[in-house]
């Protein structure tokens, strides 16, 4: 399992790198993001291409992943600049068509790894055609934007309702590594990190983003972050070795928890 954290603070990044966080995630996506998420309690980053040059020389263990903007007239320049600056993995968000994915892959031209961020209803419906494109190194299923696009009340409805299951099976059949969503601390989150971790194991996911709970812990007290991160990694290894984990019961518990959250949201709306 590769753990990723969205960050451009160099001092924190040095600590993440030494601790074994697998990927430092720089977020350059701006186009359309404010319109989609401006009304929500989400973070719209202030990262820049300069961050890549500043951060890359300090990474001894972690890989540098950069989320670029959706395909547009400036994409080739953005991709070339990111690669020249030292990125290891480029992530394409908000794609809707096979053509956009082909353009992304062709612009990268094998120079770095190509990761797709699947988060639109169009990409969901066109997944079979998209998976026919050669050169996709990995896929991350973006629960936040995808649940907004589907007009759902809570992003983990995609997990409880079987959409993530559906996509994972399609992607696994193509032998492409994949991940989905973010994860809270083991005991934290509206859906606990423990429950989500079990789903990653059941679905054979290989990457996840460390949520805001981890970022907040790092800012407040890095020792707290270290404790929670190592606890998460240790629990992952425990669960992978434990032959008695009831994954079916876990997803049923997730469904109940999700339904409860959705119902509470609807009561507030009324």
Tens of pLDDT along 238-263? 999 999 999 999 999 999 999 999 99
The strand pairing partners of 178, in sequence order, are: 139
Q: What does the pLDDT read at residue 41?
A: 52
- CA dist., res. 210 & res. 29, Å (int): 18
Spell out the residues 6+ positions from residue 14 whose beta carbon is closer than 8 angstroms to its own: 58
- CA dist., res. 193 & res. 211, Å (int): 10
Q: What does the pLDDT read at residue 256?
A: 96
Closest CA to 162 of 191, 215, 124: 124
The dihedral through the CA atoms of 145, 149, 153, 155 has a sign that is negative
What pTM did the predictor assign?
Answer: 0.93
Tens of pLDDT along 87-107? 999 999 999 999 999 999 999
Residue-level length of the chain: 270
Q: What does the pLDDT read at residue 36?
A: 58
Virtual torsion, Cα 155, 158, 161, 162, nearest 10 deg: -160
Q: What does the pLDDT read at residue 34?
A: 66
Which tokens belong to 43? 């973070």
Closest CA to 203 of 192, 212, 195, 215: 195
Spell out the residues 6+ positions from residue 87 whose beta carbon is closer than 8 angstroms to its own: 26, 52, 56, 64, 65, 66, 112
- CA dist., res. 199 & res. 165, Å (int): 10
Q: What does the pLDDT read at residue 153?
A: 95
Q: What does the pLDDT read at residue 268?
A: 61
DSSP run (H or E) holding 202: helix 193-203
The predicted model gives 70-85 an average pLDDT of 98
DSSP secondary structure letter of residue 61:
S
Question: 193-203 vs 247-269: helix axis angle to the nearest 10?
Answer: 130
- Percentage of the chain lying above the pLDDT 90 cut: 88
Tens of pLDDT along 105-142? 999 999 999 999 999 999 999 999 999 999 999 999 99
How does 232-253 read in b/e, with b if 16+ C-beta sit within 10 Å?
beeebeebeeeeeeeeeebbeb
Residue 140, helix vs strand vs coil? strand
């Amino acid at each position: 399992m590769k753990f990723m954290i969205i960050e451009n603070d160099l001092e924190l990044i040095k600590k993440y790198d030494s601790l074994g966080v697998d990927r430092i995630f720089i977020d350059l996506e701006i186009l359309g993001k404010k319109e989609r998420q401006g009304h929500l309690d989400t973070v719209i980053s202030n990262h820049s291409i300069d961050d890549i040059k500043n951060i890359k020389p300090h990474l001894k263990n972690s890989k540098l992943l950069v989320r670029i903007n959706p395909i547009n007239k400036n994409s080739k320049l953005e991709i070339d600049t990111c690669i020249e600056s030292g990125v290891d993995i480029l992530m394409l968000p908000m794609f809707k068509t096979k053509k956009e994915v082909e353009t992304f892959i062709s612009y990268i031209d094998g120079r770095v790894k190509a990761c797709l961020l699947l988060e639109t209803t169009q990409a969901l419906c066109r997944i079979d055609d998209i998976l026919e494109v050669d050169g996709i190194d990995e896929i991350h299923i973006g629960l936040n934007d995808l649940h907004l696009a589907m007009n759902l009340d809570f992003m983990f409805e995609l997990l409880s309702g079987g959409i993530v299951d559906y996509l994972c099976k399609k992607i696994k059949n193509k032998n492409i590594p994949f991940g989905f969503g973010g994860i809270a601390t083991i005991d934290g989150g509206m859906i606990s990190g423990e429950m989500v971790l079990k789903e990653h194991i059941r679905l054979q996911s290989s990457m996840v983003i460390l949520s805001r709970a981890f970022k907040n812990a790092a800012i407040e007290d890095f020792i707290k972050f270290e404790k929670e991160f190592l606890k998460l990694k240790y629990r992952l290894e425990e669960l992978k070795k434990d032959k008695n984990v009831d994954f079916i019961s876990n997803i049923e518990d997730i469904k109940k928890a999700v339904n409860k959250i959705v119902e509470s949201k609807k009561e507030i709306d009324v």
